[in-house]
């Protein structure tokens, strides 16, 4: 999330461009899911630009934003890490992958049976989704995404996990204060880390 429609659009285009570079540099097919992450994040920002321009509400752009943010990421990230990780780390990474799958299924159910709303609040956008036991779902989401990166055994993915964790804390605090949304800056930094990771990956057999 960014602080305006224009900021979201510009950030989304830049992040998506990094995503194209990541995918173009992939040398092992198993690295593709993680390498494509910046492309997804860029699309996410561009979709939110549309949410800004429609002044929130419960339209298809709001639903598309929620689908990416909620059920897609907790599956893509841990399974992407699981595929890219060395064989010695995969048994440990099976846990966040399983938690991510269960969390994504629950979130997909709540999205399918409820309504997602968005509300522009100054320089932030607030999204409303009815989630029973939200603390349990958030814990599962964080274990699947940040946990898998920190358990990957790869220093660049560990750095990515630390960056995302710090970004989540800072952005949540800023959002609660309805001050300004800064996630797009962390998404851009995370995308650069992914690009560096892709460039340093060895070629496949």
How distant, in Å, are the alpha carbons of 36, 114, 125, 160, 188 from that of 181?
24, 25, 8, 20, 14
Q: Which residue has the higher pLDDT, 54 or 38?
A: 38
Residue 114 lies in a domain: yes
Segment 155-160 mean pLDDT? 95
Q: What is the pLDDT of residues 58-89, one digit of tens each?
A: 899 999 999 999 999 999 999 999 999 988 88
Residue 34 lies in a domain: yes
Is 90 exceeded by the pLDDT of residue 168?
Answer: no
Q: How confident is the model at residue 130 (pLDDT cuts 50, 70, 90)?
A: confident
Q: Which residue has the higher pLDDT, 29 or 184?
A: 29
Q: How confident is the model at residue 179 (pLDDT cuts 50, 70, 90)?
A: very low
Residue numbers of the domain that contains 72: 5-200
Residue 163 lies in a domain: yes
Number of domains in the chain: 1
Q: How far, in Å, CA of 199 to CA of 194, rounded? A: 9
Residue 205 lies in a domain: no
Q: How confident is the model at residue 170 (pLDDT cuts 50, 70, 90)?
A: confident
Residue 167 lies in a domain: yes
Q: Which residue has the higher pLDDT, 96 or 124?
A: 96
């Amino acid at each position: 999330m960014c602080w305006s429609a224009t900021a979201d659009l510009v950030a989304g285009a830049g992040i998506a461009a990094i995503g194209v570079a990541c995918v173009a540099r992939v040398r092992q097919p198993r690295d593709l899911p993680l390498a494509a992450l910046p492309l997804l994040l860029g699309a996410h920002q561009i979709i939110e630009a549309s949410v800004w321009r429609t002044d929130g509400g419960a339209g298809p752009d709001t639903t598309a934003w929620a689908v990416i943010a909620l059920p897609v990421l907790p599956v893509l990230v841990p399974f992407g890490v699981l595929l890219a990780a060395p064989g010695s780390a995969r048994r440990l990474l099976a846990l966040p992958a399983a938690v991510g799958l269960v969390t994504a299924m629950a979130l997909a159910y709540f999205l399918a049976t409820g309504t997602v709303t968005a509300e522009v609040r100054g320089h932030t956008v607030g999204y409303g989704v009815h989630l029973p036991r939200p603390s349990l779902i958030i814990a599962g989401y964080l274990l699947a995404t940040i946990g898998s990166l920190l358990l990957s055994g790869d220093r660049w993915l560990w750095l990515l996990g630390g960056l995302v964790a710090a970004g989540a804390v800072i952005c949540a605090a800023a959002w609660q204060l309805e001050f300004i949304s800064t996630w797009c800056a962390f998404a851009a930094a995370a995308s650069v880390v992914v690009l560096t990771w892709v460039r340093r990956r060895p070629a496949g057999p």
